[in-house]
Structure 1
Amino acid sequence: MDDEELSRRYSIYKENFTHKQSQKFFEAHKKEEWFIDKYHPVESLVYREELIKRKQKMYEEFIEKLKQGEYDNVNFDEVEKSNESTEETNTEKKEENETNGNMDTEVNDEEKKNISEAEVSKINRLFIKSIPPNVKRKELIEMCSSFEGFDYLAISDPNPQKKFHRLGWIVFKEGTNIKEAYEKFNNAKIDDFVFHLAYHQTLPTRSKTVPEIFSTMNRLKYDLEQARNLAITLDKEVGLDEFESNGCEVLQEKINEFNNNEEYDEIKKIKKELDLYIEYLHRVHLFCYYNATEAESTEDYDRKCPVLYRQLPKTPVTQTSTTENGSPEKEVVETKDKICERIDNKINLRMNRPKNSEDIEKIGGRNVENEIDKFAARNVNKVDEGKYRCKLCSKLFKGELFVKKHIKSKHTESIEPIKLEVDFFNNYAQDIQKITGVFPTSMNQNPMGLNMGLNNSMRMMMPQMMNQNMPWIVPTMVPPMGLGGVSVMPMKRNGNYMGGNFYRGTTRGSLNRKPLTSIKKDDKKYPKDPREIRSYVDLDAPVEGDMDIIDILFII
């Protein structure tokens, strides 16, 4: 079996495993309010309509600022630094970004500083430090709507490391008495949960760089075409294509102005056009192009996405280099290609939603017809040869096929929940930022099994942590070494441990495993340590802690 076949089989295995993890995660969280608000085909419609209205408003603001020339100087090229020391300190961060390929960021110390009264008067947002997963968005909006000047509520995605709690922002209209709103809503209760608020503070601008491959001519042309198509797709989703001034058309008018500038060469014109589309995706659709990350509010976007600049090319991009011995050596460019592939796959999935059942199944979704057939098959009862009964209404038929047709046509009230469940799961499966894996829903739960983290890393609970309140991310469990892979505790006689060929040490608490290299290859069943100390052990001596016969007679 060659490497290509092994790679193909591993890709199939990894894809199937991811799909199974998605199924388990859906079953574990489909009844939680955050999951329903985000993916339910009916419950999420109200929030989606509100989000569309906000994006249309942001679109109008963007077009107005674009015509005023506020985005004429937008540029996502990395600025050259004159200070050499600054370059050296940032080199490690850039290499880390290239290697990891994951440019998602989290802000942990948000909204914690004290602010003055003058700053409070300029703020129109309140920050909710934690929202439990079972608190409904509808209940929060009803609570916030009671205050005059309320605009909208923004909620972040849940954090699996914090029991799927979320962050929130209560946004008010300009001129609202924010201090009075803070005093009213701080320590407010929904059910048994108390909300703790803080004044929202604008975070300092954070920046990172993407690999220099994004500055090459071929990649710039590819990104320009992809960003343009993505903007058109997202415009259609929120109805911007029906506006009199289409977003892409207005952008193209501004781009034509730059193209008529004779001072710009070809690469500068391409960069200018690409940067305008990237800014458009950010300001209108809250989509970070170089990170392939989408947010549902400007507050959450600023928290998750730093400003990403293209790293300036310093050396020609080559696939391989040769060492002193003349052997080819792989460079970091392969990692850069993987970053490009990851971003392109996510953007492609975001642009091209599956349109038929086959495409949905390829990304791990469910086929409606297959699910209905399974339901019909479960409700067929074979009474006798040539006699089949419908379990839903007890009607008798001559064949199994007739019963299935009967269920599909006459029991539509039982079919509709199945269709709704399939749409519910497919909404989750098509999310490019979905959380996959099975996580404990409480810190006190310690399931023994695999957990798939956000970076698709396997982790297992350590035995000594099973009864402790440990976070769900723990070091990987290493199986103990011993007979047949089972850890065996030796018996102690006369101060010595029997079975010293497996353990070396003097106390139970500090037993050291013998190294794997010391095991004899010809004695796999009973491995021995050649370095063991040879000593005499009296097998007839009583086990430590046992009572002597004389002591027993004396007691009698």
Structure 2
Amino acid sequence: MDSYGCQRSLLYYVLLVSPSNPLTLSGTVVKSVPQWTLIVGDLLVLQRDAVVGFNWFAEWWRMDQLVKEEKERQANGGRRPERLKGEREAREERGQEREKIQAAYDAYKEKLQVQMARSFVQQHKGEEWFKERYDPEARQAFRQHLSDFRRGTYNQWEHDLDTGLFDEFTLEGIYKSESNGAGGVIEKEEGETTAANEVLGVGDLLPSKGGDLRDEAALQPTLLIKTIAPTVSRTKMEAFCKDHLGESEGGFKWLSLSDPNPLKKCHRIGWVILNPGSEQAAKDERGDGREEEGEDVDMARSEADAPTVSTAEKALAELNGKTIQDEVRGDFTCHVGIHEPPAAPRKKALWDLFSAPERVERDLQLAMRLVSRLDEELGPDHNGLTKIEERVEMLLNQGALQPPVTALSSSKKEKKEEEELEEGEEDVDMEDEEEGAYDEEVDDEELLAKKKKLDLLVEYLRRVFSFCFFCVFESDSVHELTRKCPGGHLRRPRSSLTTVAKNVARASAAGQPFPLKKPESTAEDESSGSPNQEKRLFKTSGKSQQQLQRAFNWVKTYEDKLLQMLEPENVDIKKLGGKPVEEAVEDELGKYVKQEDEAKFRCKVPECTKLFKGQTFWKKHVEKRHTDFYDKLKSEVS
């Protein structure tokens, strides 16, 4: 067993074969195998709750093909071909093989997804969190309840926007190695730049000036419920909190629940958000009666010096250790603590593709559509998109939108200011810059306005809807959002965007396939013997191309998730493991009929054995005579 232990999804069926130990497959003895050849048999053992990686699948697929070819040769009396293949032919075969493996892998994933989804639904469909998320009636009731809470966060955001809190807000990041510690950058030497592929860690950036804003909602008094059983409903939990805390000053305001944790039997974490309350001094009740003997002055001094009891501490004493009564599913005891938000939530760096102008424009379109959709849930009097557009227009007219701080050297600009060009002298600096591999263009007004609008929309989604735009994750409070995505995201400086990365970003924004071809093998490069070695230095290295491929795939997945929300009617539910309701009902009904002859179909619905001439007649019989059974089955599959 390797370091993955029982979590390893692909188990190899391995045999060491020697001339004295021939391999038998399905009754056929395989003799023509090299000495001590490692054979991986046609046995793919998969966990139902995990998908194996592509490399593991590819290794199994190749070995499986070898075994099948060997069996076919033995059956037909053929021999293993000994002809050596040329390099070009071998390369073409490798390309064709990869396409076959990819197609087989996609089919395997789709089939496994269906199995996993079906098993998941059957296992959890009776749990409260599942009903809240997937049952239409329960989900609709919860969304309305959530919208009531979000109207309060909207009002706070609207006030902050009008007072100018977000006027300097930006998602532009600065590399840690270039930061001066005050939201700016240190000066670089003339011509020095930063390659994005040298700094592709998620923690490489610091926010620019104005970008380090924190949502004050995360600091309001909150209790943490350490674990909530999947049988406990939100309604029961809220009623329990209201009974013990009330809803006045310092009392219950909102209950936030996390996603279920499959590693802990789908238990959830909870946050009880409290209304602000006045802090009170802790009383030292000595119980000796001396407070009645005229010690008013001394008591006034002691109360002033005594530690205060916070709103959260008072609420903690009311909830911790209390039990929720449930005669049907069993009682549940609450273990509660005081929630401590992270002191300095980390902001994650986005892939460099998000810094390209085309990508910014595409993300802005998606963000506007998403905000419009979520604003509809709040009601006609809530229109965050219009508010943001008006604010950005005002800032643009005031000239308050400035290009982000960059680390470009200022010595070149100073030199141009000091020395005027002589008559007939050509300015070649711009030509030199265009030959470089990095884009150092300055954002124009139009791009600045788009970036500002996108940044405000992203922050609006976080503050009002607890929605991370780039993670495509929605929660019911800032606490669950902070747990999944602590501080949001930052864009990398546009100056570090390579020319190749710009092309990849354009392709991703336009919905085109990955524009780069797979690099040729090293052996081919060495054998070509081209004397012009300098041109090779400008080619994209294999490592850089791998990073760009990962970035491209990440962006595509992120867009697909957003489009599932924005265009649910276009989602192929079969790829997600689902089925159309009609098809699912047909499949389930098929389990309750037995064909005994060419024109004899017996009904197998409980307590029914009637015989019918055709399946159509049987189906009409079920819909008409077994109404309760049919309705129950239809509700279960939908």
| TM-score, with structure 1 as normaliser | 0.63
The equivalent of 1:251 in structure 2 is 388
CA gap 1:63/1:419 in 2 versus in 1, 3 angstroms? farther
The equivalent of 2:368 in structure 1 is 228
Is structure 2 residue 149 aligned with structure 1 residue 54? yes
Question: For 1:263 and 1:96, how far apart are their aligned partners in 2?
Answer: 31
Question: For 1:14 and 1:339, how far apart are their aligned partners in 2?
Answer: 18
Question: For 1:249 and 1:60, how far apart are their aligned partners in 2?
Answer: 15
Question: For 1:272 and 1:404, how far apart are their aligned partners in 2?
Answer: 59
The equivalent of 2:223 in structure 1 is 126
Question: For 2:232 and 2:549, how far apart are their aligned partners in 1?
Answer: 44
User: Alignment partner for residue 338 of structure 2, among 170, 175, 199?
Assistant: 199
Counterparts of 1:25-36 in structure 2 under 5 Å?
25-36=120-131
CA gap 1:51/1:139 in 2 versus in 1, 3 angstroms? same
Is structure 2 residue 357 aligned with structure 1 residue 217? yes
Is structure 2 residue 553 aligned with structure 1 residue 341? no
Query: Shift in Å at residue 386 of structure 1?
Result: 4.5
Question: For 1:20 and 1:263, how far apart are their aligned partners in 2?
Answer: 55
Question: For 2:378 and 2:313, how far apart are their aligned partners in 1?
Answer: 37
User: Alignment partner for residue 13 of structure 1, among 97, 108, 114?
Assistant: 108
Question: For 1:85 and 1:274, how far apart are their aligned partners in 2?
Answer: 26
User: Alignment partner for residue 97 of structure 1, among 202, 220, 223?
Assistant: 202
Counterparts of 1:114-513 in structure 2 under 5 Å?
124-146=221-243, 147-149=245-247, 150-175=252-277, 177-190=311-324, 191=330, 193-204=332-343, 205-236=345-376, 238-240=377-379, 243-262=380-399, 264=401, 265-305=445-485, 306-313=487-494, 314-318=496-500, 326=536, 329-330=541-542, 331=544, 332-354=547-569, 359-381=572-594, 386-392=599-605, 393-423=608-638
User: Could you report, residue by residue, the CA deviation over 1:136-194 in whole angstroms, capped at 9, with x for unpaired residues?
Assistant: 33322221120212222111112233333221111222227543321121112344543
CA gap 1:165/1:398 in 2 versus in 1, 3 angstroms? closer
Query: Shift in Å at residue 223 of structure 1?
Result: 0.8
CA gap 1:165/1:344 in 2 versus in 1, 3 angstroms? same
CA gap 1:328/1:239 in 2 versus in 1, 3 angstroms? closer
Q: Contact between 1:292 and 1:347, CA under 8 Å: does it hold in 2?
A: yes
CA gap 1:93/1:415 in 2 versus in 1, 3 angstroms? farther
Query: Shift in Å at residue 49 of structure 1?
Result: 2.2
Question: For 2:449 and 2:261, how far apart are their aligned partners in 1?
Answer: 41
| TM-score, with structure 2 as normaliser | 0.56
1:354 is paired with a residue of what secondary structure? Answer: helix
User: Could you report, residue by residue, the CA deviation over 1:257-287 in whole angstroms, capped at 9, with x for unpaired residues?
Assistant: 2343456423222211111111121122221
Supply the AA of the counterpart residue of 2:577. Answer: G
The equivalent of 2:191 in structure 1 is none
Query: Shift in Å at residue 81 of structure 1?
Result: 4.7
CA gap 1:123/1:226 in 2 versus in 1, 3 angstroms? closer
1:72 is paired with a residue of what secondary structure? Answer: coil
Q: Contact between 1:372 and 1:415, CA under 8 Å: does it hold in 2?
A: no
The equivalent of 2:406 in structure 1 is none
Q: Contact between 1:33 and 1:136, CA under 8 Å: does it hold in 2?
A: yes
Question: For 2:541 and 2:312, how far apart are their aligned partners in 1?
Answer: 60
User: Could you report, residue by residue, the CA deviation over 1:395-440 in whole angstroms, capped at 9, with x for unpaired residues?
Assistant: 55433211112212443322222332233xxxxxxxxxxxxxxxxx
Q: Contact between 1:94 and 1:208, CA under 8 Å: does it hold in 2?
A: no
Supply the AA of the counterpart residue of 1:186. Answer: N
**Is there any run of 5+ residues in structure 2 with no aligned partner, and where?**
1-95, 186-195, 205-218, 279-310, 325-329, 402-444, 502-515, 527-535
Q: Contact between 1:366 and 1:422, CA under 8 Å: does it hold in 2?
A: no
CA gap 1:299/1:92 in 2 versus in 1, 3 angstroms? farther
CA gap 1:251/1:7 in 2 versus in 1, 3 angstroms? same
Supply the AA of the counterpart residue of 2:165. Answer: E
Percent of counterpart pairs with the same letter? 30
Question: For 1:180 and 1:239, how far apart are their aligned partners in 2?
Answer: 33
2:568 is paired with a residue of what secondary structure? Answer: coil
What RMSD, in angstroms, separates the aligned Cα atoms of the two structures? 3.3
Question: For 1:419 and 1:255, how far apart are their aligned partners in 2?
Answer: 50
2:254 is paired with a residue of what secondary structure? Answer: strand
Query: Shift in Å at residue 98 of structure 1?
Result: 9.4
CA gap 1:73/1:420 in 2 versus in 1, 3 angstroms? farther
Query: Shift in Å at residue 387 of structure 1?
Result: 4.9
The number of equivalent residue pairs is: 394
Question: For 1:123 and 1:229, how far apart are their aligned partners in 2?
Answer: 31
Query: Shift in Å at residue 391 of structure 1?
Result: 3.9
Supply the AA of the counterpart residue of 1:141. Answer: E
Supply the AA of the counterpart residue of 2:492. Answer: Q
Q: Contact between 1:98 and 1:336, CA under 8 Å: does it hold in 2?
A: no
Question: For 1:315 and 1:375, how far apart are their aligned partners in 2?
Answer: 54
CA gap 1:57/1:79 in 2 versus in 1, 3 angstroms? same
CA gap 1:290/1:400 in 2 versus in 1, 3 angstroms? closer
Query: Shift in Å at residue 2 of structure 1?
Result: 4.9
Supply the AA of the counterpart residue of 2:229. Answer: P
Question: For 2:560 and 2:630, how far apart are their aligned partners in 1?
Answer: 34
Q: Contact between 1:187 and 1:195, CA under 8 Å: does it hold in 2?
A: yes
**Is there any run of 5+ residues in structure 1 with no aligned partner, and where?**
100-121, 424-556
Q: Contact between 1:231 and 1:248, CA under 8 Å: does it hold in 2?
A: yes
Supply the AA of the counterpart residue of 2:267. Answer: H
Question: For 2:471 and 2:132, how far apart are their aligned partners in 1?
Answer: 25
Question: For 2:319 and 2:198, how far apart are their aligned partners in 1?
Answer: 40
1:135 is paired with a residue of what secondary structure? Answer: coil
Question: For 2:341 and 2:469, how far apart are their aligned partners in 1?
Answer: 22
Question: For 2:400 and 2:254, how far apart are their aligned partners in 1?
Answer: 45
Supply the AA of the counterpart residue of 1:285. Answer: F
The equivalent of 1:547 in structure 2 is none
CA gap 1:364/1:394 in 2 versus in 1, 3 angstroms? same
CA gap 1:388/1:84 in 2 versus in 1, 3 angstroms? closer
CA gap 1:11/1:375 in 2 versus in 1, 3 angstroms? closer
The equivalent of 2:508 in structure 1 is none
CA gap 1:339/1:257 in 2 versus in 1, 3 angstroms? same
Query: Shift in Å at residue 225 of structure 1?
Result: 1.0
Question: For 1:368 and 1:315, how far apart are their aligned partners in 2?
Answer: 47
2:541 is paired with a residue of what secondary structure? Answer: strand
CA gap 1:315/1:381 in 2 versus in 1, 3 angstroms? closer
